[in-house]
């Protein structure tokens, strides 16, 4: 689904990672690990067209996304990608329902796409459609961000420390939902410092020290 070819990123004389070469397939959950500053977020940003690699290619459906023209880039961001960040990236002064509607808007309705009501049920926020996002707790806001992903149904989910600010139960729920989205056919890439999250992924890439992911040995997930 995403093929990474000989990918290198440097800032001036400093090379963060070099020669990355691997594929992330549909149904796979890949963890990016490594010490602070190793370049996990930078790699996610390159996959999400928020940054550019210094050299190499990132192919989606055989096309190098780093060479996309603006129209193809817009399509990729709108129809392929889903983001999950630690700071939720929600519209604070809008309702829960409005935040989810924005995610659905540009897309033609697809058969089988979960509704807002179904997505909120899935994240344990049934009946909270009309609440203002800024009145919700941090964990609840992260669940709204997850519900937004569920209604968007992206092909590739990029999650940057998605459990960083959450308690154990909420962190478990975030990983459960990301895993179930991967089972439904999307690819998921998670930058994380959390060993429990890493252990529930399929593969792990130690960013900055290796060029290819390895299988996660002690799987905790089903």
Ligand X SMILES: Nc1ncnc2c1ncn2[C@@H]1O[C@H](COP(=O)(O)OP(=O)(O)OP(=O)(O)O)[C@@H](O)[C@H]1O
Contacting residues toward ligand X, per CB under 6 A = 11, 16, 34, 36-42, 191
* Least separation in angstroms between CB 94 and ligand X: 28
The pair of structure tokens assigned to 54 is 């210094």
Q: Closer CB to ligand X, residue 54 or residue 113? A: 54
Q: How many residues does the chain have?
A: 222
Residue 71 Cβ vs ligand X, minimum distance, rounded to whole Å? 26
Give the closest residue to 17 by CA, choosing from 213, 214, 183.
213
Q: How far is the CB of 209 from ligand X (least distance, A)?
A: 12
Q: Please, which residue, 42 or 153, has the CB nearer to ligand X?
A: 42
Task: Report helix, strand or coil for 100.
Answer: helix
Min CB(212)–ligand X separation in Å = 18
Nearer to ligand X, 125 or 206 (CB): 206
Q: Which CB, 42 or 170, lies closer to ligand X?
A: 42
Nearer to ligand X, 41 or 211 (CB): 41
Cβ of residue 192: shortest distance to ligand X, in angstroms? 9
Q: CA of 77: how far to CAs of 49, 81, 116, 155, in Å? A: 8, 5, 21, 11
3-state secondary structure 116-167: HHHHHHHCCCCCCCCCEHHHCCHHHHHHHHHHHHHHHCCCEEEEECCCCCCC
Beta strands across the sheet bearing 55-60: 14-24, 2-11, 55-60, 63-64
């Amino acid at each position: 689904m995403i093929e990474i070819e000989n990918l290198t990123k440097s800032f001036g004389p400093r090379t963060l990672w070099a020669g990355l070469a691997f594929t992330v397939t549909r149904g796979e959950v890949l963890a990016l690990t490594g010490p602070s500053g190793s370049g996990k977020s930078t790699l996610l940003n390159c996959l999400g067209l928020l940054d550019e690699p210094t050299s190499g290619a990132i192919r989606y459906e055989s096309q190098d996304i780093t060479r996309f023209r603006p129209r193809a880039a817009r399509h990729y961001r709108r129809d392929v990608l889903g983001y999950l960040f630690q700071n939720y990236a929600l519209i604070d002064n809008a309702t829960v329902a409005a935040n989810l509607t924005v995610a659905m808007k540009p897309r033609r309705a697809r058969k089988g796409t979960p509704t807002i009501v179904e997505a909120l049920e899935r994240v344990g926020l049934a009946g909270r459609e009309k609440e203002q996002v800024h009145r919700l707790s941090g964990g609840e806001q992260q669940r709204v961000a997850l519900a937004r992903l569920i209604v968007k149904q992206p092909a590739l989910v990029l999650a940057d420390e998605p459990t960083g600010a959450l308690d154990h139960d909420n962190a478990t729920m975030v990983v459960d939902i990301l895993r179930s989205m991967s089972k439904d056919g999307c690819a998921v890439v998670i930058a994380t410092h959390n060993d429990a999250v890493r252990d529930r992924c399929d593969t792990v890439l130690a960013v900055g020290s290796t060029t290819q992911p390895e299988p996660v040995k002690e799987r905790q997930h089903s």
